[in-house]
Amino acid sequence: MIRPYGTWESPLSVEVVSSLPAGGIAGMHVDGGRVRWSESRPQEGGRLVVVEWRDGERRDVTPPGFNVRTRVHEYGGGAWWVHDRAVFATSWADQRLYRADPGRTPVPLTPQPVVAHGFRYADGRVTPDGSTVVCVREDHTPPPADQAPGEQTVAEQTVAEQAPGEQAVPVPPERVRNELVALPAHPGDGEPPAPAVLVTGHDFVAAPRIAPDGHRLAWLTWEHPEMPWDSTVLWVGELVGDGAASRLERVRRVAGGPGESLVQPEWSPSGELFVVSDRSDWWNVYRVTGLDGADPHLVAVHPLAAEVGEPAWEFGQSRYSPGADGEVWLTYSAADGAHLVRVDGAGQVDGAGQVDGAGQVDDVVLAPYAGLRALRLDGDRLVALASRTDAEAAVIEVPTGGIAPAAGGDVRVAVLCPGRDLAATFGLDDEGISRPRQISFPSGTPTGTRTAHAWLYLPANAEVEGPPEERPPLLVTVHGGPTAAATPAFRLAVQYWTSRGFAVADVDYGGSTGYGRAYRRLLDEAWGIVDIEDVCAAARWLAGQDLVDGSRTAIRGGSAGGYTTLLALAVTDVFAAGASHFGVADLAALARDTHKFESRYLDGLVGPWPQAEAVYTERSPLHHVDGFDRPLIVLQGDEDAIVPPAQAELIVSALAARQVPHAYLLFAGEQHGFRKAENIVAAVQAELSFYGQVFGFTPAGDVPAVTVEFAERLPVTARRG
């Protein structure tokens, strides 16, 4: 069947897309042979649930109504961990830490703070003897008036008259304290005791990891204005005492500093310390040698021109795992798929502290998988969350003895929990799936001075194709961060568009991760320049290749991607329309009014505030309102603490003043990103309706028409579907 692009009838309803949004399955821990991970439940208000795979079935571990989510750094991650069958989890309702034993109601381990959500917990571990939890705590309780920022906080206390979940008066970012704390792993009688503060005085702390002997603790810190992908420091100390009586002694700085990003410290079962560093330009795994001597240093386990680590937007990443016999397992992604690597011996160190050989390396591609996350070693098997380009993510298991060439060449991969059957569940046949292809194109000013990258998805539908003389409309998608990356992993949210006849280009502009530190640093003091050049270059290059209709090109993005969307519409004429999902409109307002984690992020991306105020003004979409003449839809959550609603309303007011066609949807109860099924449905339908009105076609199906202000000023197009 021949149908104009954009009007195709798709097997994917918007309700299907909202059933499991991108990132809906995340995190994983293995304990006593039990594999557990967390899932998003949009149909239950977007709550996160810990589930367990046992006896061939998926079973909920956390009870109905319990939402496993932390507000630390606002982006969260690392909201739960396990030990001896017990799950330790932060509840979204009150941000207290709970212990959930099998078959029992979760019990709080931390006291109710003086203000709602005043103490937030994440990224913890339990000592081997099961007595003590060590984790990150973010303290939002107001300090006494005479207390200097960074000093130890007031004691936690119960406030009986305060309802759980009641909103507290926000504490300014400079007064928020990030610390490592220790507390009993078992509930006692009465109100839980206040945790012991182990590490304080740093702007940020992360990744407390306890050695197998239970006495050594490794962790990371970083200071404003650096971000964790800029500069971090690795520390080790002796853990003394237990529970709320714990303390650290003989603390020493081990590695890191200006210009080096360290992530994911891990102890091996034999007590060796490893960490990921980007000192070679790529995030690779290193062994820490000389830890008990005067001069610890890092030794590369297996140098690669590839990223084993990833930016620490969320806690709890795991891209490698050290084994008991000195081997290290790691993963990275390349053009040919997900690589799983075993390094035997992993650079063993002799008595003089020197590396004795690099070890035998086995590097295999786990076809058909595109990437592995949450890699965990459990005895003689590895488990991971595995993504594909043509199917939903699955939980897989690889026997540790099945990777070596001597095992016969083929890697034995067992799928513990597969993704949904796309054909049976959604009617999405193999030929109806749009598979990404990586493209590279010239960008920069003058044109062609550097290379940018994107993942391109062309329209695909088993039942429909476009007219031979017509080219599809293009959606240029801009990822958030901006220190993040596009991914080729299968997403129903992308297939929703391609199955309707849209092309999608997911751009990895300069500053994105996955291409080494040098590419990541292209955005230093250049946010609003390099990203704009690259998204425009992608659209122009694709039109020049006769792959898309250059006159029907829209740009869309969320958060930082929303900023690039807004600025591209304001200062260029490349795009015919745009969709901003909780995008930044005023950089100065963002610098003055955002949460602690990102409160100094713009120092590196734009310049120090307020010294660089003129640059902030020049790079802010709000100060280029005269350039807004293209239709725009704005989607925003009313509880967004990262990009507050005021940012969206500033741009909407500017559009109204200029009588630019626009739509604005504000979603109640949503934060930074939409998690509730009904809101995801409304947002996707509104965006599709908006593109139909702008580009002059009628979408297939029962798509409610979004109200577009000044719709009479939309451009008149000849083609109607």
Determine how β-strand 553-558 pairs with β-strand 577-581.
parallel
**Mean local confidence (pLDDT), 653-669:** 93
**Mean local confidence (pLDDT), 72-88:** 95
Quick one: how far is CA 175 from the chain centroid? 25
Q: Domain for residue 63, yes or no?
A: no
Question: For residue 135, what are its two tokens?
Answer: 């984790």
Q: Which CA distances in Å does 356 have to 10, 82, 271, 320, 419?
A: 59, 36, 18, 22, 43
Q: Are residues 397 and 467 in the same domain?
A: no
Nearest by Cα to 124 from 99, 105, 104: 99
Strands across the sheet containing 216-222: 204-210, 216-222, 233-240, 247-256
Of 358, 386, 419, the last residue of a domain is 419
| Strands (DSSP E) found in 153-200 | 177-184, 196-199
Q: Are residues 568 and 442 in the same domain?
A: yes
Q: Are residues 369 and 457 in the same domain?
A: no
CA distance 385 to 373: 5
Q: Domain for residue 628, yes or no?
A: yes
Buried b (16+ CB within 10 A) or exposed e, 69-86: bbbbbbbbbbbbbbbeeb
Q: Are residues 474 and 347 in the same domain?
A: no
* DSSP of 416-473: EEPPP-HHHHH---GGGPPPPEEEEEEESSSTTSEEEEEEEE----SS-B--TT----
- Phi, psi (rounded to 5 degrees) for 301: -75, -45
Q: Domain for residue 556, yes or no?
A: yes
Residue 104 pLDDT exceeds 50? yes
pLDDT for 322-368, tens place per residue?
998 889 999 999 999 999 999 987 555 444 444 444 578 999 999 89
pLDDT for 592-603, tens place per residue?
988 999 999 999
Question: Is residue 25 very low, low, confident or very high in pLDDT (cuts 50, 70, 90)?
Answer: confident
pLDDT for 155-204, tens place per residue?
333 333 334 434 455 788 889 999 999 999 999 989 999 999 999 999 99
Dihedral sign for Cα atoms in the order 634, 636, 641, 645: positive
Q: Are residues 574 and 696 in the same domain?
A: yes
Q: Domain for residue 273, yes or no?
A: no
Which range among 191-195, 400-404, 416-420, 700-704 has the greatest average pLDDT? 191-195
Q: Are residues 490 and 379 in the same domain?
A: no
Q: In terms of pLDDT, which residue wins out, 686 or 641?
A: 686
Helix (H, G, I), strand (E, B) or coil at 355: strand
Of 376, 401, 419, the last residue of a domain is 419
Q: For position 144, what pLDDT does the model report?
A: 61
Question: For residue 294, what are its two tokens?
Answer: 């005067």
State the residue range of the domain holding 542.
Answer: 429-713
Residue 268 pLDDT exceeds 90? yes
Residue 154 pLDDT exceeds 60? no
How much is the mean pLDDT over the chain?
90
> Which residues pair with residue 439 across a beta bridge?
454
CA distance 706 to 687: 8
* Residues 281/283/287/293 CA torsion (nearest 10 deg): 60
Residue 717 pLDDT exceeds 60? no
Is residue 579 a contact partner of residue 554, using CB atoms and an 8 Å limit? Answer: yes
CA distance 576 to 549: 11
pLDDT for 359-388, tens place per residue?
789 999 998 999 999 999 998 999 999 999
CA distance 54 to 70: 26
Report the residue count for the chain. 721
Question: For residue 661, what are its two tokens?
Answer: 């066609």
pLDDT for 117-134, tens place per residue?
999 999 999 999 999 999
Q: Are residues 692 and 627 in the same domain?
A: yes
Of 419, 443, 469, the last residue of a domain is 419
Q: For residue 160, what are the contacts with CB-CB under 8 A and spacing of at least 6?
A: none
Is residue 640 a contact partner of residue 579, using CB atoms and an 8 Å limit? Answer: no
**Mean local confidence (pLDDT), 669-678:** 85
pLDDT for 498-512, tens place per residue?
999 999 999 999 999
- Sole residue written with tokens 């306890």: 210
Q: Domain for residue 667, yes or no?
A: yes
Residue 562 pLDDT exceeds 90? yes
Poorest-pLDDT segment among 76-85, 374-383, 395-404, 697-706: 395-404
Q: For position 716, what pLDDT does the model report?
A: 55
* DSSP of 62-98: SPTT--B---TTTT-B--EEEETTEEEEEBTTT--EE
CA distance 518 to 461: 39
Q: Are residues 367 and 448 in the same domain?
A: no
Q: Are residues 365 and 452 in the same domain?
A: no
Q: For position 145, what pLDDT does the model report?
A: 57
% of the chain surpassing 70 pLDDT:
92
Return the amino acid letter for 677.
Answer: A
Q: Count how many domains the chain has.
A: 2
Q: Domain for residue 242, yes or no?
A: no
Return the amino acid letter for 119.
Answer: F
Poorest-pLDDT segment among 23-32, 592-601, 683-692: 23-32
Q: For residue 211, what are the contacts with CB-CB under 8 A and spacing of at least 6?
A: 217, 218, 267, 271, 273
Return the amino acid letter for 589.
Answer: A
% of the chain surpassing 90 pLDDT:
74
Q: Domain for residue 362, yes or no?
A: yes
Q: Are residues 351 and 466 in the same domain?
A: no
Q: Are residues 410 and 483 in the same domain?
A: no
Cis peptide before 482 (omega within 30 of 0): yes
Angle at 83 (CA atoms; ends 329, 208), nearest 5 degrees: 65
What number of other Cβ atoms are within 10 A of residue 520's Cβ?
25
Question: For residue 506, what are its two tokens?
Answer: 């997911």
**CATH number, residue 609:** 3.40.50.1820
Question: For residue 318, what are its two tokens?
Answer: 């795991």
Q: Are residues 602 and 703 in the same domain?
A: yes
Cis peptide before 225 (omega within 30 of 0): yes
Which range among 101-105, 244-248, 401-405 has the greatest average pLDDT? 244-248
Q: Domain for residue 388, yes or no?
A: yes
